[in-house]
Amino acid sequence: MRIIQFIGVLALICSLTACSVSKSAREQRNLLSGTWQLNDVSYEGNTGTFKSVLFGDAEDICFEDSNWFFRDNNSTGRYTIKPSSLCQSGDRFIKWSIVEPTNGLSQLQFKFIDEKLKDVSGGRGYRLNIANLNAQTMTLKSNVTVDGQPVTLVYEFTKQ
């Protein structure tokens, strides 16, 4: 009987620690919560003219002036691309979280979902390094390789 009680207590402790979120991640979630405008997508770390499709969705130019909404109570959100002749406009729904790797910057992680909160990306998602996050501005970065050379995509947001 004691072994069963011990296993039950051990399972409870494991579940509580597995679901816990650090104070830093909680603070970042609170800061991220709300509506943001993506003002600029730029490239650093290499020279040249770049054009890319972001998140397997649309060209980089389509994301400029897009609106992003993050709801922290259920980790869902969306981004909205504005209509233009180059871009497929509309809402893209996401499930997101803050990841704190042991060897670096915190990251915003997200994957695509539908209106019923079902995964539509086959479990595939994206991670962006959080270079800066405060009550007014956010800078996210992702490292990619172009023709064998490193390039960093920089996403500059302002809170609405």
Tokens 């050379």 belong to: 149
Cα 41 to Cα 140: distance, rounded to the nearest angstrom: 10
Cα gap 110→156, rounded to integer Å: 17
Long-range CB pairs of 48-55 (<8 Å, 24+ gap) are: 50/146, 50/151, 52/144, 52/153, 54/153, 55/126
Structure tokens at 68: 């992003």
User: In tens digits, what is the pLDDT along the chain, a chain of 160 residues?
Assistant: 444 444 444 343 433 334 456 788 889 999 999 999 999 999 998 877 888 899 999 999 999 999 999 999 999 999 999 999 889 999 999 999 999 987 778 999 999 999 899 999 888 999 999 999 999 999 999 998 887 888 999 999 999 9
Q: pTM for the full model?
A: 0.83
Output DSSP code: residue 50.
Answer: -
**12 SS3 class:** helix
* Distance of alpha carbon 155 from alpha carbon 110, whole angstroms: 15
Element containing residue 13 per DSSP (H, E): helix 2-19
Which two three-digit tokens encode residue 28? 């970042």
